[in-house]
Amino acid sequence: MAEPLGILPLRSFRDTVDKEQFTAARRDPRARVVSKQSFDEMKSHLLELYGDLDAEHSFEDPAGAEVDCVPIESQPSLRGTDGTIAVAPDLGPVLRGEPPQVPAQQAPRAPVNFHRRDRHGNEVYVPSGTIPIRRVRLADMARFATLSDFMRKSAGPSPVPPSAPDPDTGKNHRYAYTHQTVDNIGGHSSLAVYAPTITSDQVFSLAQHWYSGGTGNAHQTLEVGWQVYPAKYGHANPVLFLYWTADNYQSTGAYNLDSAGFVQTNSAWTIGGALSPVSTKGGQQFEMEHAAYLFGGNWWVYAGGTSSSDALGYYPTSLYSGGQMASKATEITYGGETVTSAVGWPAMGSGEFASAGWQQAAYQRNLYYYPTGGGAQWAGLTAEQPSPACYTLQLGAAAAPWGVYFFYGGSGGGNC
């Protein structure tokens, strides 16, 4: 196996993690880790996460993040299991009112070649039988106060009265979103991908799906979409992200593959990896198509389509510990979310308000959900724009390929 050019091999990377010291990490002006104890917890988590993993190939993504291609059966989420990997259902028949079609077995995972080389000269490809995993570095984690802060996303959409940023970042989430209370086993939309600017005093801007159920501390979610989050990812590019929580963002849940949970089955996508190209105002629009579907005891997530081969992977329902999401969701939500830390809220979507419309404002289209009884239904959504001075949303419906859709976004500011 050839060593990657300009990238520390994964096995050597583990050795450097083991040797890293709190005092050295704190010299980075971006570091926020609060104590040696918190730093050591981060270190222990990384050493456990990567364990005895080895990569068959490594390369850098467009934003400079290291990506390791590891055997699919060795991924952290399969440790402690018998190694059986579920087979994804094809959701095409569901739109015709038929049951999902399940292949007899997963198609062989052929190499995925992106036909380019990274800045070091490494070929950007994923060998057969492996999945690409974005490497999490201790320096990434040390930009957060604690390990739990690194893992946590915080509560989902709720109306918030306009106010200036609060010292408690948890109070600084702002939204423009649509929702429907309905029993469901998933849903679908295509999201325009943009790259809103996030300053050093801001946290993130995203667009996503939420599938959720339960109330209070029993609130549970599955979330998927794109996100610009420089403190977490170390760059200003949008990334494909996942998130889950089983206890209202308290002690469970994690982004992407940052902790065991999501079982990735698709070699064509790097979860947490930079997305390119992105949409431009007044120009070409680039989309991500996502779906979620509960089948066979797993919440499947799809990217780029809804066929079996488009399945990104799955969250086992055992993660929800018998809570609402172990059997179905009761709410579907689609929209945008931003967070700030000190000065003002960042742009959402393209930075244009919903009224700017096509090729100017960001959008989601072709929104439908999967009822518990089978088939698919157009979403009957309610629009919420709790911070209209900063972010707006306009719902609509049209012929294919739009279906139920909405434009959303805004410039942000200091009084959202």
Burial class for 399, CB neighbours closer than 10 Å (0-12, 13-18, 19+): exposed
Stretch 83-104: mean pLDDT, rounded?
92
Q: What does the pLDDT look like over 148-203, one tens digit per residue?
A: 999 988 665 555 555 778 777 778 899 999 999 999 999 999 999 999 999 999 99
pLDDT of amino acid 171: 82
Q: Is 95 helix (H, G, I), strand (E, B) or coil?
A: helix
Residue 114 banded pLDDT, cuts 50, 70, 90: confident
Look at residues 288, 190, 281, 196 and name the one whose alpha carbon lies nearest to residue 237: 196
pTM: 0.95
Look at residues 319, 325, 245, 321 and name the one whose alpha carbon lies nearest to residue 81: 319
- State the Cα–Cα distance between residues 81 and 66, nearest whole angstrom: 27
Residues in the chain: 416
Q: Chain centroid to CA 12: how far? A: 28
Domains of the chain with CATH codes: 7-82+106-151 (no CATH), 163-416 (2.60.120)
- State the Cα–Cα distance between residues 16 and 14, nearest whole angstrom: 5
The residues, any chain, with a CB within 8 Å of residue 114's CB and separated by 6 or more, are 124, 125
H or E stretch covering 53: none
- State the Cα–Cα distance between residues 39 and 411, nearest whole angstrom: 36
Residue 90 banded pLDDT, cuts 50, 70, 90: very high
- State the Cα–Cα distance between residues 199 and 229, nearest whole angstrom: 10
DSSP-H helix ranges across 218-272? 230-233
At residue 87, does pLDDT exceed 90? Answer: yes
Q: Hey, how many other C-beta atoms are within 10 angstroms of the C-beta on 104?
A: 5
Q: What does the pLDDT look like over 360-392, one tens digit per residue?
A: 999 999 999 999 999 999 999 999 999 999 999
Stretch 27-40: mean pLDDT, rounded?
94
- State the Cα–Cα distance between residues 247 and 256, nearest whole angstrom: 17
Residue 77 banded pLDDT, cuts 50, 70, 90: very high
Highest averaged pLDDT of the listed ranges 8-12, 113-117, 311-315: 311-315
The residues, any chain, with a CB within 8 Å of residue 215's CB and separated by 6 or more, are none
The residues, any chain, with a CB within 8 Å of residue 104's CB and separated by 6 or more, are none
Q: What is the largest CA-CA distance in the chain?
A: 60
Q: Chain centroid to CA 245: how far? A: 13
Q: In Å, what is the CA distance from 320 to each residue of 213, 246, 311, 317?
A: 10, 5, 20, 6
- The C-alpha R_g of the chain, in whole angstroms, comes to 21
The residues, any chain, with a CB within 8 Å of residue 200's CB and separated by 6 or more, are none
DSSP string, 335-381: EEEEEESSS-BPPBTTSS-GGG-TTTSEEEEEEEEEETTSS-EE---
Average pLDDT across the chain, whole number? 93
- State the Cα–Cα distance between residues 222 and 270, nearest whole angstrom: 18
